[in-house]
Copies of this chain bind each other. A is one copy, B any other.
């Protein structure tokens, strides 16, 4: 037997309902049958994105949507603010630079949240777009998007939030908070395989689209929006992934997005308490509810630990770039509930002991169970 357990922040486990949807005979995309499916997907994406705006859907990795959120809003020589607090913040800066856009970086120590006042102090009339993340996947740190949106919406700039790992795991009131643009991907909280990416675009941001002179074709927001408004696709879509997405969106809607978010809150808290009970330290200053980054204790080889668990069929994530070997990351994201977290924590306990870092067996699991039995995270949308 070679059973696999997936606790990575993307891809996340795909529910059997979605896997089986992909195993159905392929249908053509220029048919009323497909248009009906896509119409439902469009509506339910708006529900999950907490927006009335069209959620543009692309066949690409999340990085494609990040690039689209540069190429469609800007012109050569424009200035943008990029919060660089991890690998994906750096990616926005790299993409902008590749397009000849002037980047003012707000360098934040990896693992820390950006201070919204820092953003405020950098905003001037010439900043066109501010790029930041809800959850910086590489560090497990959460940013205060509500406050950042307050600050940015009072300026002429447009706010682009990378919610690739945060969507469906953490509170994100796109329209209510005034978040102009939300970028996401299919293989995280949306629970299907990688291959689709998404960008919701508000009115202020459409104003930039009209003025942008950077080259684009496949990712052209205007083309894609025009087609989507007929529940059609500008280019041949990844049909089987859209059909899987219909299933996962139905599941999220059935559970209710408020409940989905509060479930992630509980799973995250249980994971954090478990790690602390094992004597481990959390890496992020303000930890995100999508993924928990844990510091590798002194003397332990973090990469070897991740590799060891992988050899047992258990995938967790290591650190990226200069954090390689220094942290490991546990995702509580997507198709996961209480017992999956307990399984994940027990795998960490077993693995740590096997690589020679002794922790008290069962202690992490106990701490997590206590969270599940005693606590309820009050849900904020309803407050």
> Of A117-125, A187-195, A367-375, which stretch is located at the interface?
A187-195
Interface string of A72-87 (1 = CB under 8 A from B): 0000000000000000
Contacts of A71 in B (CB 8 A): 215
Closest B residue, CB atoms, query A99? B215
A290 CB to nearest chain B CB (Å): 15
Q: Is A216 an interface residue (CB 8 A)?
A: yes
Contacts of A66 in B (CB 8 A): 218
Q: Is A106 an interface residue (CB 8 A)?
A: no
B31–A14 touching, CB < 8 Å: no
A98–B217 touching, CB < 8 Å: yes
B19–A6 touching, CB < 8 Å: no
Taking the full assembly, how many copies of this chain does it contain? 2
Q: Is A230 an interface residue (CB 8 A)?
A: no
B28–A14 touching, CB < 8 Å: no
B240–A193 touching, CB < 8 Å: yes
**Neighbour of A23 across the interface among B4, B23, B28, CB < 8 A:** B23
Contacts of A378 in B (CB 8 A): none
A315–B10 touching, CB < 8 Å: no
**Neighbour of A28 across the interface among B19, B98, B240, B315, CB < 8 A:** B315
A64 CB to nearest chain B CB (Å): 4
A292 CB to nearest chain B CB (Å): 17
A314 CB to nearest chain B CB (Å): 11
Contacts of A310 in B (CB 8 A): 31
**In residues 3-17 of chain A, which contact B (Cβ within 8 Å)?**
4, 6, 8, 10-11, 13-14
**Neighbour of A22 across the interface among B6, B19, B29, B236, CB < 8 A:** B19
Interface string of A24-54 (1 = CB under 8 A from B): 1111110100000000000000000000000
**Residue of A6, A22, A63, A216 most packed against chain B (CB within 10 A):** A22
B59–A215 touching, CB < 8 Å: no
- Given the contacts A23-B23, A315-B28, A61 and B236 also touching, CB distance less than 8 Å: yes
Extra A-B contacts (18), CB below 8 Å, given A26-B193, A195-B241:
A4-B25, A6-B28, A8-B28, A19-B22, A19-B24, A19-B25, A20-B23, A22-B23, A31-B310, A59-B61, A59-B64, A61-B218, A62-B236, A63-B218, A63-B235, A67-B217, A100-B215, A194-B237
The 14 sampled A-B contact pairs (Cβ below 8 Å) are A20-B23, A22-B23, A22-B193, A26-B187, A31-B310, A59-B60, A61-B218, A62-B236, A63-B235, A63-B236, A71-B215, A98-B216, A195-B241, A240-B241
Interface string of A91-110 (1 = CB under 8 A from B): 00011001110000000000
Contacts of A208 in B (CB 8 A): none
C-alpha gap A215/B236 in the complex (Å): 24
Q: Is A127 an interface residue (CB 8 A)?
A: no
Closest B residue, CB atoms, query A91? B217
Q: Is A202 an interface residue (CB 8 A)?
A: no
C-alpha gap A233/B273 in the complex (Å): 35
Q: Is A355 an interface residue (CB 8 A)?
A: no
A240–B22 touching, CB < 8 Å: yes
B315–A31 touching, CB < 8 Å: yes
A284 CB to nearest chain B CB (Å): 21
Contacts of A95 in B (CB 8 A): 217
A26–B13 touching, CB < 8 Å: yes
Closest B residue, CB atoms, query A195? B238
B64–A218 touching, CB < 8 Å: yes
A11–B239 touching, CB < 8 Å: yes
A61–B235 touching, CB < 8 Å: yes
C-alpha gap A211/B376 in the complex (Å): 58
Q: Is A111 an interface residue (CB 8 A)?
A: no
